[in-house]
Structure formats: C-alpha cells, structure tokens
Amino acid sequence: VAKTVNIVKEKWGKVMRELEPVKDGSTVTAFIEDPSGDRFELLGRRLTREPLCKVMLQADNLDCVIAFYEKAVGMKLLHKIVNPK
C-alpha cells in the first residue's frame, strides 16, 4: 500500500488520507482519489503472494478510471465487464 500511495503522489492522483495503521495492527489503510473524483480505500494486510490480488471498480466513466490505474499505478487490465444498468 505504501508503494501504491507513493506512485499516486508522483503521478496525477490525490491522496485523501495518508497511510495509517488500523486498530488491530495487522492492517494499514489509505484513501486516494483519481482525476475524475472517484475515491478508493487501499488496504494492506500481512504479506501474501500477491501485493494486490483483486480490484473491482464501479464508475460512470470506466475508461477514465482504467487509464488512471494503468498510468498512475502501473496496473494492467486483465478483464472488463460492462453492465449497462
């Protein structure tokens, strides 16, 4: 999560709340905002094989959100489902 927060700061995202530990001590959290104003909570737990296992996004402008994550965080789109409702 700390690495992702730093990438967001360096690129064109906005950190709404800096990285901080959650009460139980095994989790950290931060809040970020993408250029279209969508806000996300990042959660980091104890080490796993993959630092980020899954992201599900619901957005009015999905292409803008995808572009943000590809450019600002370096993620790669693997699968996309568009629900018209």
Mean pLDDT by 10 residues, the chain (85 residues): 86 87 82 84 75 68 84 81 72
Asked if residue 67 is part of any domain, the answer here is yes
The two beta strands, 28-33 and 14-21, are: antiparallel
Q: Which two tokens stand for residue 45?
A: 């737990």
Residue 84 lies in a domain: no
User: What is the C-alpha to C-alpha distance for residues 44 and 29, in angstroms, rounded to an integer?
Assistant: 6
Catalytic residue among 18, 33, 41, 50: 41
Q: How far apart are CA 40 and CA 54, in angstroms?
A: 13
Give the per-residue pLDDT at 15. Answer: 92
Q: What are phi and psi of 70, to 5 degrees?
A: -70, -45
Does residue 80 belong to any structural domain of this protein? no
Residue 41 annotated to the active site: yes
Structure confidence at residue 11 (pLDDT)? 81
**Alpha-carbon distance 66 to 59, whole Å?**
10
Does residue 82 belong to any structural domain of this protein? no
Distance CA 70, CA 85 (A): 25
What pLDDT is attached to residue 61?
A: 82
Q: What pLDDT sits at residue 54?
A: 62
Domain range for 31 is 2-72
Query: CA angle 77-5-45, nearest 5°?
Result: 85
Query: Does pTM surpass 0.85?
Result: no
Total domains present in the chain: 1
